Amino acid sequence: MIIRNFTEYIVEPLLETAVSDIHHRELTVEIKYCRTGSKRCISGTYYRWTAAAPEGRLIRLRINRTNRYPVAIPFKTSEYFRKKDSRGREIIYQRLRKEKFARPEHLLLAIFLHEFSHYLDHAEGRNGRYKQTKADKFAIERLANLGIVR
């Protein structure tokens, strides 16, 4: 894995450790700051194709310099519940699991793991449904194995 880190945070060892049991040699990870004025605390994207990486396999992470920690991030689960709206119609909602990250390194790792799941889907030729939920569950499982979340 090639990591290009343009931030002050030392995350390379964390990223490598989190996926050390999975083949990922051809993956490139870029870590940058969000643009000034951005309201997002963090964002991540997995690119199947881009001009900078025509063969794909690129993860870009952007973290906001102005974050105040801890930062809470919602992760989707496979649990659903029903609730009636104001007109009495029953609507199905997906439960979210909020996790708080006290350090920017752990926040970057969480989003990296989510995007890494998309990389695995692409590498294995999968194009199924429920990818966001699957990616969130993959990230939570890996974070729990590392002792970062419970």
Q: Which helix (H) or strand (E) holds 72?
A: strand 71-84
Q: What is the largest CA-CA distance in the chain?
A: 53
Res 128: pLDDT = 62
DSSP per-residue letters across 4-66: EE-SS---HHHHHHHTTTS--TT-EEEEEEPPTT---SEEEEEESSBTTBTT--EEEEEE-TT
Please give the model's pTM, rounded to 2 decimal places: 0.89
* pLDDT over threshold 80, residue 106: yes
Both tokens assigned to 65:
């310099």
**Residue 8 pLDDT level (bands cut at 50, 70, 90):** very high
Distance separating alpha carbons of residues 116 and 119, to the nearest angstrom: 5
Q: For 66-76, what is each residue's pLDDT tens digit?
A: 999 999 999 99
Please write the tens of the pLDDT for every residue from 43-83. Answer: 999 998 888 777 778 999 999 999 999 999 999 998 999 99
Is the pLDDT score of 123 beyond 90? no
